[in-house]
Structure 1
Amino acid sequence: MTADSRQVISFEEVNRSATAQVGGKNASLGEMVCHLEGQGVAVPPGFATTSHAYWQFVELNELKQPIMDALKDMQEGKATLAATGTLLRRLFLKGTWPEDTAQAIRDAYAQLCVRIGRDDADVAVRSSATAEDLPEASFAGQQESFLNIRGADALLDACRQCYASLFTDRAISYRETKHFDHLQVALSVGVQVMVRSDTGSAGVIFTIDPETGFDKVAVIDAAWGLGETVVQGTVEPDEYQVFKPLLTKDQLEPIIGKRRGAKELKMVYAEDGVKSTRTVPTSRAEREAFVLADAEILQLGRWACIIEKHYGCPMDIEWAKDGETSELFIVQARPETVQSRKVAGKFLSYRLKNKGKKLVAGLSIGDAAVTGKVCVLDSAQDIDRFVDGAVLVTENTDPDWVPIMKRAAAIVTDHGGRTSHAAIISRELGLPAVVGSGNASKVLKDNQEVTVSCAEGDKGFVYEGYAEVLTDAIDPSDLPVTRTRIMLNLADPASALHWWRLPADGVGLARMEFVVGNHIRVHPMALVNYEQLEDSGVKRQIDELTKGYTEKADYFVDQLALGLARIAAALYPDPVIVRMSDFKTNEYANLIGGAGFEPHEENPMLGFRGASRYYSPRYREGFALECRAIKRLREAMGFTNVVMMIPFCRSISEADKVLEVMTANGLQRGKNGLEVYVMCEIPSNVILAADFAKRFDGFSIGSNDLTQLTLGVDRDSDELAHLFSEEDKAVKWMISHVIKAAHEAGTKVGLCGQAPSDHPEFATFLVESGIDSISVTPDSFIRVKQKVAEAEKNA
């Protein structure tokens, strides 16, 4: 029997060139079995029916002419899509198997049972179309899969249903849109030993950030039970992010994102009844726990890198964990079809003005913002109710929703994660989407005017009313090269990866207090002294935030390290200068549990802040947690590009005390390449620049505070606003003097104030003064870069 006439073929005998024979999905499984198992990637064994078997089924049952006639009637408007699909599927389901095909499937199944040592082994039965999983088109979800199939008769029935699913309404519609000839597409069926993820977990991996296209990160979604709930978007899964460049070093743990999802449902085996699976609620313990341990996250990340390297393109991968053996497996892999096809060039940055009340929030898909009227739909069958250009709001989507999604301005769902159907299709269509909102279909009402924003990081929001949506076009390829390093001011880990395409020279200011205030939210001393807290309400809030942590203080260290890691990853391996916490006492007091640990001050701006806190008995243990996070970031995760920066250091003796405390916490300047900078924002920093230069590796000028303290002006005072100017001669003298003094001492000096962002001409003065680097907000990066290039040219 020739290869082309075989009915069934094992995965070990096919590779990715066999798409015409076994379809894209099965060809990819064979490719991994043949070439990647030797590198440790585990793939469950199995076999595939061939396209030859499909055409034999079509020929025996004389289906070709009925298929042509039915499709012609639909194309001429004589029949609806739904009626056509129903008719064709019924024809396949009534069909009989050619005897040699049926026997080949029975024999292959029997051999598989012997191979794994189980009678009537439970298998996954998946459709694999011969035009599927191509880089230029994603057929994911177009055909059916069947799980927990046992016995040869049940297997043959499932295979027949897979054939019929080649003509689901969504599959017909997709081929029509993509101009694929329906009778040139065959269907192979993959039969694979089931991974008992019904008692374990499963999910999806993208080897590229599906939102920003950042190619140095792999994103892993995970939920309890069989993986269909993640793919279909019926649950909000956990999400983990790993930094790929550091995964090659076994001693490192470069996990830069861990978000616990709600995971309210899971799909498990159905032991009785017609259906082989059922969906059940998860337990409270399952909802509150992370699905994967760190070691498992790293293993999946390393496998994803191996698969991506082998295929030579970003990949969309499905994985499963066997609950009985705790083994991990890869069960599918296909090319990623959205971000990988985007061409680097101009991209739009969106901003909102005059935002209304925040109505719902969820995960942000895309980076755009739009306005529109709400249309809430319970079912894809309600397509006639949908108004073109409306904001589609529903519980979750599947491929049946695609015709409606194509007509929407934005999409909002109650359920789903970043790898759900709604998220994947929204990206393909270029639509902003907010997924996993929890209650949008209940909160939002038909015809309600809203603004959907995915322009504020990894959280998406729906606001009441129409906000003003502003856009800025950014084209990094047109920028000149400059001697002066132009860096970014970043604070929010959620939006850090959005700016990876900017040709910045690193991050000149990463604000630790933003991560603490917006992501951790708890005062570190309240975690250190949790047992002594008397406020039961505060304790309840802390308990809710720290679920899964045995030691409350570990929550602070873990979340701070993760938040800073995303910023450190965005421009790796360029330097990322992390300013240690610089809250004022009134700001610290506003953190959960903070009021009992902060003194009341009449002028917090000049009070207990910055360096003075780090060695004080009042906060020293809190600073120790900050140091633990930095140590983990550099040594355990591997982000040695992170530089520490000490703010508001008033005197030389204070500098010595801070460096001593850092050393006691395992962070010694110069050891393992650690650099420590000092903020230059107090006149004493300028006056004693030579002495500070002996203790620090660089200065970072904070022009806002330096202006206030040089001129004695409160920048927030309406009465004195006219006096506050970073371009005042006295301020400029201070800046130029510290640049000169730093260079005489052989020390680097940069500026991370707001002035160059607000007034690009200020950059000319800095260039003329010999500044080494200027750090600006991302939205002003291009015009500052251009201004610096012009100033350097004219110097």
Structure 2
Amino acid sequence: MGAPQVFRFEELGMADVARVGGKNASLGEMVRELTAQGVRVPGGFATSADTYRAYAAANGIGPALRERLEEHRAGRATLRETGAAVRELFLRGEFPEDTARQIRRAYRELCARTGRADLSVAVRSSATAEDLPDASFAGQQETYLHVVGEEQLLAACRRCYASLFTDRAISYRELKGFDHLTIALSVGVQKMVRADLGASGVMFSIDTESGFPHVAVISAAWGLGETVVQGTVDPDKYLVFKPLLDVAEAPVVERTRGAKLHKLVRDPHAPAGTRLEETSSAERAAWVLDDADVLRLGRWAALVEAHYGRPMDMEWAKDGPTGELFLLQARPETVQAGRSATRFTIHHLQRKGRVLAVGSAVGDAVAGGPACVVRTAADIESFRDGAVLVTEMTDPDWVPVMKRAAGIVTDHGGPTSHAAIVSRELGLPAVVGTGDASRRVADGQELTVSCAEGDRGTVYEGRLPFTVEEVDLGALPGTRTAVMVNVASPAAAFRWWRLPADGVGLARMEFVVNNIVRAHPMALVHPERVADAGDRRRIAELTAGFPDGPEYFVQTLALGLAKLAAPYHPRPVVVRLSDFKTNEYAHLVGGAAFEEAEENPMLGFRGASRYYDPRYREGFALECRALRRVRERIGFDNVVVMVPFCRTVAEADRVLATMAEHGLERGRHGLKVYMMCEIPSNVVLAEQFATRFDGFSIGSNDLTQLVLGVDRDAEALRALFDERDEAVTRMISEAIRKAHAAGIPIGICGQGPSNHPDFAEFLVREGIDSISLNPDSFLRTVRRIAETEQRIGHDPARRRRATMES
């Protein structure tokens, strides 16, 4: 018996990367260190890198391998020809007798430990240079599933060795400058998790697009996980807010149901041992994971990240027969982890054009160029340098072409697909999972690929102008005035997380309803009153998979608001109750059945007056339920509720009483309730309103409209609409003075400070406590605020008031 060449996972750890590669070393580390904390990893063993070297030496592979690679570099052989020839060298070899004996013995011992003769195992490749801090070899070598018996196992090990020289692996190592001949491969053998009868997916302990570090991002699909990794299926997506895992009941901030049209299942008669089959209508409508599963995976992501001390990329599986979850592997996340926390690059699209396709955004950049539509790998040589690659989907064979592209657009795949992973590593903007871009875009057509508008990427017709702003956030000045942000779209919630904002001064509920709920709340409460057949059908589609329409509204709205709140926790996030006008409500699905036409909706049935009115009271109850869920179940008790367009003191009392009936009682569970100060009566009677609310926020748009008598939507009167008019500024000054006299904070959340730097200066001189800005104007305005404070002698180290603290 020679030196040990096979090791149980329990014998391995991260110090053994040189011996068994990153993947197997990490499996051993998790089995040894994290099993006691509840992380489940299938048991198994690994062959050593020396086993690979011995195999190569015994079969005389080295000289022939070197010769083939030199022919490829010299241009005498294509990548495809080189890869095929090198792989054949490994496939026709034989294991040395001692090596084969040790592998057989380890397999028999694993069978004995699990109590299963001829145990079904997964055989995974683990390169000794993979998963380094600055490079990831994820998915480049092969995995073989449902391997049974000693002979099948030895054959799978040979194929793993051969997969060290897949076309994708050769190309990637050339790109990164790794020496092919110094890399070896370890084989990991794990007890098979029957994900073919259950589910599987991938998980990151960081948001892979924005780098936001406080969420775990989970993708899930039915069957084996290759469909998720390769991007051939649109999976469910779940986001878990890690800081609240041990505090809140269910800190899940996103649940997006994917189409899940196919699943990969076991087929012993197929060449690869698997087959792709269509999912049932029930599987497509169902969620792959329930909250308990999502939270368990989220906790595992946090534990693994904490143990390794860096963001991690993981694969998981759910066993069909038992329902148990397992982590199959973990490796460092290599893209966002390498970015600076203080350097902030912002791409600003100067204007928009005709939309050609929409999908998941990869990265946050913008790029333009002519489209090069390449439908299959057979046509890959037709790609033109500097073009936007438009294709159905990519696989590792496409990497040499992708690195020559200006941007990537695919029909299929999600944020964890091959196209997404490679695009991130190359720093290219990509829009993946568009559905039909390769059919809608013409070859040679000028395009703009925009990933600078949130997690939805857009492909525009034509080359559109854009700017790139580089900011060192560490050099931004401090301010006495709290500087907050206005947010609206959950899709863009994480884009601005690096901004040093003091919280959210305005999160508009109606924007969330319009963008992701899409249906009128009363139509969800009373679908029987919706006469339009198209609206009824659309409501049925939206609410599929939910117990009823109200639960759909509450959960969807709650998750949208929670996602807006997550980047700013524990700083205050002020959520304004819905302030649709009747004409805007009518445009929601089913809304026409519940809204009456008004001559002037801007001054009509809007804001506070709706909340206690029988025409909307049931809809308002759903808003309150959603806010309670955000604060009490998801855990964001830093959410402050704000009442808009409250005309009278008596109306304030009625609204507060209605909120309390629905569980939103001011002061209960620390709830603070603010009021929009946007009607002249709010300023005139500010002392009385101040006894009922915990703070004011000036809405400069409506206040200007009502002080000057100018309809803010009237194009002909645009020149008269100016919040810097003396009549308006006097009202604002009075509101600030009265709020301070009453001992409550007052901020501003209207457009004025974002649009007019001199208006921001005025507010600072008046001593306003907080200014809430649009994120894209934050950086330039915060500098103006600091300069103003310096001129008037404010010390940024001494804030006069701890504004809007939860």
TM-score tier by shorter-chain length is: over 0.9
User: What is the match of residue 583 of structure 1?
Assistant: 580
In structure 2, the residue matched to 1:621 is 618
Specify which of 695, 700, 714 is matched with residue 692 of structure 2: 695
CA distance in structure 2 between the aligned counterparts of 1:288 and 1:17, rounded to whole angstroms: 45
- In structure 2, what is the Cα distance between the partners aligned to 1:505 and 1:257? 23
How much has 1:273 moved relative to structure 2?
4.2
Which residue in 2 is equivalent to 1:437? 434
Q: Which residue of 2 aligns with 1:495?
A: 492
Q: Does the alignment pair 1:47 with 2:16?
A: no
Does residue 218 of structure 2 align to residue 209 of structure 1?
A: no
For 1:360-439, list aligned pairs within 5 A.
360-439=357-436
Residue 333 of structure 1 and its aligned partner are, at CA, apart by 0.2
Q: 2:648 aligns with which of 651, 665, 673?
A: 651
Partner letter of residue 223 of structure 1?
A
Equivalent-residue separation in structure 2 for 1:718 and 1:455 (angstroms): 30
Distance in 2 between residues matched to 1:293 and 1:314, nearest whole Å? 24
Which residue does the alignment assign to 1:240?
A: 238
Distance 1:37 1:719 in 2: 69
Larger deviation, residues 108-117 vs 354-363: 354-363
Q: Secondary structure at the match of 2:174?
A: helix
- Match of 1:527? 524
Provide the residue aligned with 1:102 in structure 2.
Answer: 100
Give how far 1:346 is off. 3.4
Contact 1:354–1:468 at 8 Å: present in 2 too?
yes
Matched, 1:119 2:117: yes
> Which residue of structure 2 lines up, in the alignment, with residue 164 of structure 1?
162
SS in 2 for 1:497: coil
Q: CA–CA distance in 1 between the matches of 2:348 and 2:478? A: 28
Residue 148 of structure 1 contacts residue 277 of structure 1 at CA under 8 Å; is this kept in 2?
Answer: no
2:589 to 578, 588, 592: 592
Shift of 1:399: 1.4
CA deviations on 1:282-336 (whole Å, 9 max, x unpaired) are: 1111112111111100110001000000000000000000011000000000000
Summarize deviations over 1:85-129 as a string: whole Å, max 9, x none.
222111111101111111111111111112112222111111100
Question: Given residue 255 of structure 1, which amino acid in structure 2 is its aligned partner?
Answer: V
1:347 matched to 2:341: no
Give 1:685 deviation, angstroms.
0.2
The amino acid of 1:435's aligned partner reads V
* Structure 1 partner of 2:55: 57
Q: How many residue pairs get matched?
A: 792
List aligned pairs for 1:178-197, cutoff 5 A: 178-197=176-195
Q: Tell me, what secondary structure is at the counterpart of 1:180?
A: coil
1:138 aligns with 2:132: no
Q: 1:177 to 1:466 in 2, by over 3 A?
A: closer
1:316 paired residue number: 313
**Counterpart amino acid of residue 58 in structure 2:** L
Identify which of 640, 652, 660 aligns with 1:663.
Answer: 660
| 8 Å Cα contact 2:42/2:328 also seen in 1 | yes
Residue aligning to 2:802: none
**Equivalent residue runs for 1:170-319 within 5 Å:** 170-249=168-247, 251-319=248-316
Range with bigger deviation, 373-382 or 331-340: 373-382
| C-alpha deviation, 1:190, in angstroms | 0.5
- Call closer, same or farther: CA 1:445–1:721 in 2, change over 3 Å: closer
Deviations 1:431-482 (A, max 9, x none): 1111111112222221122221111111111122222223333332221111
Match of 1:767 in 2: 764
Give a deviation string over 1:49-107, Cα, whole Å, max 9, x none: 11121111111111112122222232333333322222211111110111111111111
Query: Are positions 1:466 and 2:491 aligned together?
Result: no
- Residue equivalent to 1:787: 784
CA distance in 2, matches of 1:365, 1:763: 35
Letter in 1 for 2:679: I
The CA distance in 2 between the partners of 1:695 and 1:118, in whole Å, is 69
The corresponding residue for 2:803 is: none
Match of 2:563 in 1: 566
Match of 2:604 in 1: 607
Q: Which letter does structure 2 place at the counterpart of 1:445?
A: A
Range with bigger deviation, 123-132 or 104-113: 104-113
Please identify, of 379-388 and 597-606, the stretch whose mean Cα deviation from structure 2 is larger.
Answer: 379-388
Structure 2 Cα separation of the partners of residues 95 and 538 of structure 1: 65
Q: Of residues 315, 328, 333 in structure 2, which corresponds to 1:331?
A: 328
Q: Give the whole-Å Cα distance in 2 for the aligned partners of 1:109 and 1:340.
A: 37
Q: Distance in 1 between matches of 2:73 and 2:432?
A: 34
Q: Which runs of 4+ in 1 moved over 6 A?
A: none
CA distance, structure 2, for counterparts of residue 271 and residue 75 of structure 1: 39
Letter in 2 for 1:743: H
Cα distance between partner residues in 1 of 2:62 and 2:610: 79
For the aligned residue pairs, the C-alpha RMSD in angstroms reads 1.3
By how many angstroms is 1:522 displaced?
0.3
TM-score (norm 1): 0.98
Cα distance per residue 1:7-47 (max 9 Å; x no partner): 21110110111011111100000000000000000000111
* Runs (5+) with no aligned partner, structure 2: 793-806
1:679: Cα distance to partner?
Answer: 0.3
The one-letter code of the counterpart of 1:501 is R
Letter in structure 1 aligned against 2:100: A
1:616-663 per-residue CA deviation (whole Å, 9 max, x = no partner) reads 001011000000000000000110110000000000000000000000
SS in 1 for 2:715: coil
Aligned residue for 2:64, secondary structure, equals helix
Q: What SS is found at the alignment partner of 2:467?
A: strand
Amino acid at match of 2:717: L
After superposition, where does 1:6-85 map in structure 2 within 5 Å? 6-85=4-83
- Contact kept, 8 Å, 2:194 with 2:319, in 1: the verdict is yes
Match of residue 682 from structure 1: 679
**C-alpha contact 2:125 2:185 (8 A) present in aligned 1:** yes
Structure 1 residue runs without a partner (length 5+): none
Is residue 369–residue 469 contact of structure 1 (8 Å, CA) maintained in 2? yes
Q: Tell me how far 1:354 sits from its aligned partner.
A: 4.2
- State the partner residue of 1:757: 754
In the alignment, the residues of structure 1 paired with residue 503 and residue 481 of structure 2 have an alpha-carbon distance, to the nearest angstrom, of 12
Q: Secondary structure at the match of 1:503?
A: coil
Deviation at 1:271, TM superposition (A): 3.0
Mapped to 2, the partners of 1:59 and 1:16 lie a distance apart of 27
In the other structure, the counterpart of 1:477 is 474
Distance in structure 1 (CA, Å) of the matches to 2:301 and 2:289: 16
Identity %: 62
Out of 528, 538, 546, the residue aligned to residue 541 of structure 1 is: 538
Partner of 2:196, secondary structure, is coil
CA distances 1:252-273 after superposition (whole Å, capped 9, x unpaired):
2111111111111111100324
Counterpart among 773, 776, 786 of residue 776 in structure 1? 773
Quote the offset at 1:521 in angstroms. 0.7
CA contact (8 A) 2:531 2:593 kept: no
Structure 1's 722 and 175: CA in aligned 2 closer, same or farther, altered over 3 A? Answer: closer
Distance 2:321 2:442 in 1: 45
SS in 2 for 1:44: coil
Write the distance in 1 (CA, Å) between the matches of 2:63 and 2:659: 79
8 Å CA contact 1:6–1:53 kept in 2: the answer is: no
Q: Which secondary structure state, in structure 1, belongs to the residue aligned with residue 88 of structure 2?
A: helix
- Aligned to 1:9, the other structure's residue is in SS state strand
Whether the 8 Å CA contact 1:6–1:52 is kept in 2: the answer is: no
AA matched with 2:510: E
The answer as to whether partners of 1:207 and 1:217 remain within 8 angstroms in 2 is yes
